[in-house]
Amino acid sequence: MGFAEVGCIECHSSQQRESVMKTLHTGFGEITYDPDKVIRFPEGLIGFEHLRKFIVMPVKKDDVLFCIQSVEEAHVAFLLINPCLFFPDYQVRPASGDLEKLDITEDDSYFVMTTITFHKDKTASLNLLAPVIYTPRTDRAVQVVLEGSGYSTRTPLPKVE
Amino acid sequence: MLVLTRKVGEGIVIGEDIVVRVMECKDGRIRLGIEAPRDKKIYREEVYERICLENREASQWDLQKLDALNAILPSKGSR
């Protein structure tokens, strides 16, 4: 399970940094984080526009799956995954308005991730219609909508046993 | 709800910086032109609602589901 590793990472960084760590009581337990190291969604996620700050926690060793945990509402967390693992042709480029929101230029690197939804029938799906673009340089992220792309909010993944 | 009647070519102004104009009306469909600052997010209503719903559902998960997902994920090296 990834969260034990997350704890170690957080402890390690706290030893190197002087800033005051904060603690969050989430559904997964107590999480200690550095308030200077949150990522910001200038517009929140769609339907969650009021939540602007999240902490990122890797939940698998090889950096394909992340949990973003709201620091403003402890019960809100999302799983983000690199959709290219399953859909290699999936490509998203930030529009000019998105570049402004992310405070980057076209030369900056960015990552495209999608949320994962679990369903009652034990399947999981990806929201390819509204991916999240994250830029490490500014630590900002936006959820964009690919209107007219034909992508679905519920693109199925292989069955989760 | 404010209800206004407009003809093709006419528009409405919302606030200081948004103009919505009726471009065409044909076969029960109305084409709208919208002028707004780039930072204003504009979506078709049903698309916006579908994504709201999906985000709400995506926020509902637990560690068991995460473990199940981890089990089926391809590792990076195998790409």
C-alpha–C-alpha distance, residues A56 and A28, integer Å: 14
Q: What local confidence, expressed as pLDDT, does residue A44 receive?
A: 95
- B46 CB neighbours in chain A (<8 A) are none
For testing the chain A interface, which of B46, B54, B64 should be mutated: the one with the most A CBs within 10 Å? Answer: B54
pLDDT digits (tens, 9 = 90+) for A144-153: 999 889 999 9
When CB atoms are compared, the residue of A85, A117, A147 closest to B58 is A117
- What is the reported pTM? 0.83
A47 touches chain B (CB under 8 A): yes
Percent of chain A's residues with pLDDT above 90: 57
Find, in chain A, the residue whose alpha carbon is nearest to that of B53. Answer: A47
Report DSSP letters for B12-72, one per residue.
EEETTTEEEEEEEEETTEEEEEEE--TTS----HHHHHHHHHHHHHHT---HHHHHHHHHH
In which region does residue A64 sit, left (phi positive, over 0), alpha (psi from -120 to 50) or beta (all else)?
Answer: alpha
- Which of A56-65, B3-12, B25-34 bottoms out in mean pLDDT, i.e. has the lowest? A56-65
Give yes or no for A11 touching B (CB within 8 A): no
User: Using one digit for the tens of pLDDT, what is the confidence trace for A36-69?
Assistant: 889 999 999 999 999 999 999 878 666 788 899 9
Q: Does residue A11 carry a pLDDT above 50?
A: no
Q: What is the ipTM of this complex?
A: 0.83
Contacts of B74 in chain A (CB under 8 A): 85
Mind telling me how many Å the CA of A127 is from chain B's nearest CA? 8
